Amino acid sequence: MGNIYLIRHGQASFGADDYDVLSPLGVRQSHALGEHLAQLGLQFDRCIAGDLRRQQDTARLALERLAANGSAVAPVETDPAFNEFDADGVIRALVPDLLPHEPEALQVLRNPAQHRSEFQRLFALMVQRWHDGEHAPSDGLETWASFTGRVGGGLQRVLAQASSRDNIAIFTSGGTIAALLHLVTGVTPAQAFALNWQIINTSLSQLKFRGRDVALTSFNSQAHVQLLRMPELITYR
Pinpoint the alpha helices (H) of 135-199. 144-161, 174-185, 189-196
Give the C-alpha separation, 185 to 23, whole Å. 32
User: What pLDDT sits at residue 136?
Assistant: 72
Residue 140, in any domain of the structure: no
Output phi, psi for 148, to 5 deg: -65, -35
Same domain, 27 and 116: no
Same domain, 78 and 93: no
Same domain, 11 and 74: yes
Can you tell me the mean pLDDT for 155-169?
A: 96
Give the C-alpha separation, 60 to 49, whole Å. 10
Name the amino acid, one letter, at 214. Answer: V
| Residues of the domain holding 67 | 2-82+151-233
CA 204 distance to own-chain centroid: 10
Same domain, 108 and 225: no
Same domain, 75 and 160: yes
The CATH number that applies at residue 193 is: 3.40.50.1240
Same domain, 229 and 160: yes
Same domain, 37 and 107: no
Q: Full-prediction pTM beyond 0.85?
A: yes
Give the C-alpha separation, 107 to 119, whole Å. 10
Q: Which of 48-52, 81-85, 162-166, 177-181 has the lowest mean pLDDT?
A: 162-166
Same domain, 103 and 69: no
One DSSP character per residue, 70-124 reads: T---PPEEE-GGGSPP-HHHHHHHHHHHHTTT-TTHHHHHHSGGGSHHHHHHHHH
**Segment 54-96, tens digit of pLDDT:** 999 999 999 999 999 888 889 999 999 999 999 999 998 999 9
The tally of domains found in the chain comes to 2
Contact 84, 90 (CB under 8 A): no
User: What is residue 107's three-state secondary structure?
Assistant: helix
Can you tell me the mean pLDDT for 190-206?
A: 96
Same domain, 163 and 77: yes
Same domain, 93 and 106: yes
Residue 127 — pLDDT band, cuts 50, 70, 90? Answer: very high
Give the C-alpha separation, 145 to 161, whole Å. 24
Same domain, 77 and 155: yes
